[in-house]
Amino acid sequence: MTPIRGLTATAYTVPTDRPEADGTLAWDRTTLVLVRATGGGQTGLGWTYGSAACAAIVRDDLAPVVRGRSALDVPAAFEAMARQVRNIGRAGAAGYAMSAIETALWDLKARLLGVPLCALFGQASDGVRVYGSGGFTTYPHALLAEQLGGWVHDRGIPRVKIKIGESRGTREERDLHRVRQARDAIGSYAELYVDANGAYTAKQAIRMAHAMDEWDVRWFEEPVSSDDIRGMRRVRDAVRADVAAGEYGCDLYYFRRLVRVVDCLQIDVTRCGGILEWRRAAAVAAARGLEVSGHCAPQLHLHAALATPNVRHLEWFHDHVRIESMFFDGFREPVEGVLRPDLSRPGLGLDLREADVEKFRTYGGVGD
Ligand SMILES: [Mg+2]
């Protein structure tokens, strides 16, 4: 047995390139919590985006029940973590921390076996489609057009998403104006998606969806709060666009509730519990005849998505693309809107640029 020797977490906080906001939140920085799992002379990497508190949970609550276990038996380590967080609550920071550890353990296992991570599960496809995601409500028109047009016309990504629901749903006219601007920027053939981040009421979302039909909006993400299950169902049943949600899910019960009321289930591998839970959540969706979409963190989703048959696409999210391209050697770029792995590299195929990212470190560090 090769034991898991070390399990450390480090938080890095990276300022955004510009002020950013969606319908219900504004931010100017992003924190990546990186987990390193070591054993057998190899190091596996996993991460989540969230509070630096996730790093403290790794150190204080989770590492003690994972260290010393077999590096090859990832599900056993996951179950030990799931039991360990009962009293601190799995949904939220603990679930995010578990996800970072779980993905690091899969990366470690694949590196120990000398294979790309997707080879552990077997591939359902050799590439995954992505959609460009940004279009923040803080962007002036010229920047919105430049970002969206860049994805569609320069990068060949034929689907993009913008944020709407500005100021908690109180700027409907501006929302519609920006949807029109987005359509103008991408032309008539690319798919246009919107994300309200739960800013609207159900009837308001239905009215907005009907108004947005003029610009052929195909995807309406979180039209209402993801906690409003009845409202989500009302919207889904009334609109032409696909209704999508699921980005906050930390366990399979959450996804089971949501698959009853969406057209496409979003799953975030950095939140849901990791790669195995991502695939199990995709199975929950498959049992309802639904496809799934990876939420954010595209470099961490790639191998999980390759192993999952009912994947629609991954989110090429501006903030995380920028951070992951700065942080990791082996970063993959989509070609004509499709992301493919480098199968010559073991594990996730990513190596941390330690020296480059040290300036962003805000919590923990090597040698903890
Ligand atoms: Mg969203």
Whether residue 28 is found in the same domain as residue 155: no
Instruction: With respect to residue 368, please indicate whether it lies within any of the assigned structural domains.
Output: no
Instruction: Give residue 153 CA to ligand 1 midpoint distance, Å.
Output: 24
pLDDT at 365 over 80: no
Instruction: Give residue 70 CA to ligand 1 midpoint distance, Å.
Output: 36
CA distances from 347 to 106, 118, 316 (A): 7, 8, 21
Instruction: Give residue 119 CA to ligand 1 midpoint distance, Å.
Output: 30
Instruction: Give residue 136 CA to ligand 1 midpoint distance, Å.
Output: 11
Instruction: Give residue 65 CA to ligand 1 midpoint distance, Å.
Output: 33
Instruction: Give residue 78 CA to ligand 1 midpoint distance, Å.
Output: 26
Whether residue 148 is found in the same domain as residue 99: no
Instruction: With respect to residue 254, please indicate whether it lies within any of the assigned structural domains.
Output: yes
Whether residue 198 is found in the same domain as residue 76: no
Whether residue 98 is found in the same domain as residue 172: no
Instruction: Give residue 184 CA to ligand 1 midpoint distance, Å.
Output: 23
Give the pLDDT of residue 368: 54
Torsion of CA 56, 59, 63, 65, to 10 degrees: -80
Q: What is the CB neighbour count within 10 angstroms for residue 213?
A: 11
pLDDT per residue as tens digits for the range 91-129: 999 999 999 999 999 999 999 999 999 999 999 999 999
Here the CATH number for the domain that contains residue 65 is 3.30.390.10
Whether residue 182 is found in the same domain as residue 285: yes
Per the structure, the count of domains in the chain is: 2
In this prediction, residues 167-194 reach a mean pLDDT of 98
- Phi, psi dihedral angles at 8 (to 5 degrees): -125, 155
In this prediction, residues 69-86 reach a mean pLDDT of 98
Please list, residue by residue across 279-311, b when 16 or more beta carbons sit within 10 angstroms of its beta carbon and e when fewer do: bebbebbbeeebbbbbbbbbbbbbbbbbbbeeb
Instruction: Give residue 194 CA to ligand 1 midpoint distance, Å.
Output: 9
pLDDT at 366 over 70: no
In the three-class reduction of DSSP (H, G, I as helix; E, B as strand; rest coil), residue 194 is classed as strand
Instruction: With respect to residue 174, please indicate whether it lies within any of the assigned structural domains.
Output: yes
Instruction: Give residue 253 CA to ligand 1 midpoint distance, Å.
Output: 20
CB of 205 closer than 8 Å to CB of 180: no
> Model pTM?
0.97
- Report d(CA 220, CA 13) in Å as an integer: 30
Instruction: With respect to residue 1, please indicate whether it lies within any of the assigned structural domains.
Output: no
Instruction: With respect to residue 201, please indicate whether it lies within any of the assigned structural domains.
Output: yes
pLDDT at 214 over 80: yes
**Residue 72 is part of which domain span?**
6-114+350-363
Instruction: With respect to residue 15, please indicate whether it lies within any of the assigned structural domains.
Output: yes
Of the candidates 234, 300, 302, 366, which has an alpha carbon nearest to the alpha carbon of residue 46?
300
Whether residue 132 is found in the same domain as residue 250: yes
pLDDT at 21 over 70: yes
Whether residue 110 is found in the same domain as residue 128: no
Asked whether the CA dihedral 32, 35, 41, 42 is positive or negative, the reply is negative
Instruction: Give residue 345 CA to ligand 1 midpoint distance, Å.
Output: 31
List the alpha helices (DSSP H) in 274-335.
275-286, 298-306, 318-327
Whether residue 136 is found in the same domain as residue 166: yes
Whether residue 39 is found in the same domain as residue 26: yes
Instruction: Give residue 125 CA to ligand 1 midpoint distance, Å.
Output: 25
Here the CATH number for the domain that contains residue 148 is 3.20.20.120
Instruction: Give residue 144 CA to ligand 1 midpoint distance, Å.
Output: 18
Whether residue 100 is found in the same domain as residue 125: no
Whether residue 332 is found in the same domain as residue 221: yes
CB within 8 Å of 136: residues ≥ 6 apart: 18, 20, 21, 22, 162, 163
Neighbours of ion ligand 1 (CB under 5 A): 195, 221
Whether residue 85 is found in the same domain as residue 186: no
Instruction: With respect to residue 344, please indicate whether it lies within any of the assigned structural domains.
Output: no
